[in-house]
Amino acid sequence: MNDRMMKAVLYDRYGGPEVLYTARVPRPEPAPGEVLVKVSAFSVNGGELAVRSGRLRLLSGRSFPQRVGLDFTGEVAVPGAGGTRFTAGDRVWGVLGRTSGFGSAAEYVAVPAERVGRLPEGLDPVAAAALPVATTAVTALRDKAGLRPGERLLVRGAAGGVGNAAVQLGRAYGAEVTALARAANLDFVRGLGAHEAVDHRAVRPAELGRFDVVLDTAGTDLRAFRRLLRPGGRMVTIAFDLRRPVTSLGYLAASAVHGPGRVRFFSGDPTRTHLDDLARQVAEGRLRPAVDTVFPLEETAAAHRALEAGGVRGKYVVRVG
């Protein structure tokens, strides 16, 4: 078998999960400042589903084939040139940067060294693939919202990839955590540390009370959730309404300059510093991986289909090695 080739997940047109297929493609060669990682596992993220479906084709273009996979765990295969701090065999995790696009759904990935961190000792690499996205929750709560002990925190989408991490971190930071999730997932989010778990289909936002910090992972009904802020409250969202992108992004921009309770919007783009900080959060017991189901690489389409169906508890992870 040609060791210059590898398996990867591709698609040749926009559409549902059925457009995904596994093929053999050339193995990447690391450029100066990059490392080549032999991938153990990756997780499925909502953003790549939106791209694959074509809802963001104005940004993703019409050049095919395209790839999927944003985060990864694995081992360094080739440290690369340019003075990286890694050696072959190092256990690592990371997230491809915004300019790199997708591509971790493969046996190997070449990635800038500043996007790679060392995997915490004792952490299973497959389970660990559920955690790189948690850098977004750390940034949202600690850096963007400045969450303080004793404050009331509302996490919308609390059972998902970012949401479950936010529940755990909010509790660790000393906040009083209210988790919004599906009815079937209420016990799950309570187990993560939520003080109160609420079925998001059974209540209207106005019935939830007032909060110091609202973390939104859905991007819809932002006005309604913004009204829940106490004086001095902060709202952070990591999503916008894909059904009405122009209107939704316009509202987010306007909220920065009009009225109290600015809605802070950001898209996670973690570097090694974020990944090393995440490793400390894990080591200190603030955070643990939450894996719903593990799929083999050849069933990546099934993992996409499961995430689109809703109801995930933590992350869907795809095992590569």
Q: What CATH number is attached to the domain comprising 161?
A: 3.40.50.720
| Predicted confidence (pLDDT) per residue in 108-155, tens digit | 999 999 999 999 999 999 999 999 999 999 999 999 999 999 999 999
Q: Which of 265, 281, 298 delimits the end of a domain?
A: 265
pLDDT at 296: 98
Q: Is residue 81 part of a domain?
A: yes
Q: Residues 61, 126: one domain?
A: yes
Q: Is 30 in the same domain as 111? A: yes
What CATH number is given to the structural domain containing 109? 3.90.180.10
Same domain for 125 and 88: yes
Token representation of residue 162:
């970012």
Quote the strand ranges of 79-183, DSSP E. Answer: 91-95, 108-112, 116-118, 152-156, 176-181
256 domain-assigned = yes
Same domain, residue pair 152 and 250:
yes
CA torsion 174-175-180-185 (nearest 10°) is: 20
Domain assignment present for 215: yes
244, pLDDT greater than 60: no
Q: Provide the domain count of the chain.
A: 2
Task: Determine the 3-state secondary structure of 103 from DSSP.
Answer: coil
Give CA separation, 187 vs 112, 127, 130, 199, 317, in Å: 39, 21, 20, 11, 21
Query: Is 280 among the domain residues?
Result: no
Does 103 reside within a domain? yes
Domain co-membership, 16 together with 57: yes
Cβ contact 73:104 at 8 Å: no
pLDDT at 55: 84
19-54 confidence digits (pLDDT tens): 999 999 999 999 999 999 999 999 999 989 989 999
In a domain, 233, yes or no: yes
Do 229 and 302 sit in the same domain of this protein? no
In a domain, 272, yes or no: no
Q: What is the pLDDT of residue 88?
A: 94
Instruction: Judge if 207 and 241 occupy the same domain.
Output: yes
C-alpha 283/C-alpha 76 separation (Å) is 22
Asked, for residue 117, whether it belongs to a domain, the answer is: yes
5-11 and 21-26 as β-strands: parallel, antiparallel, unpaired?
A: antiparallel
| More reliable by pLDDT, 252 or 279 | 279
Domain of residue 229, residue span: 134-265
Query: What distance in Å separates the CA atoms of residue 128 and residue 273, rounded to the nearest whole number?
Result: 17
Residue 122, Cβ neighbours under 10 Å: how many?
7
Q: In this structure, are 100 and 201 located in the same domain?
A: no
For residues 55 and 150, membership in a common domain is answered with: no
d(CA 227, CA 229): 6
Same-domain check for residues 249 and 309? no
Q: Provide the angle, in degrees to the nearest 10, between the axes of the packed helices 300-309 and 46-53.
A: 100
Instruction: Clarify whether residues 227 and 184 are in a common domain.
Output: yes
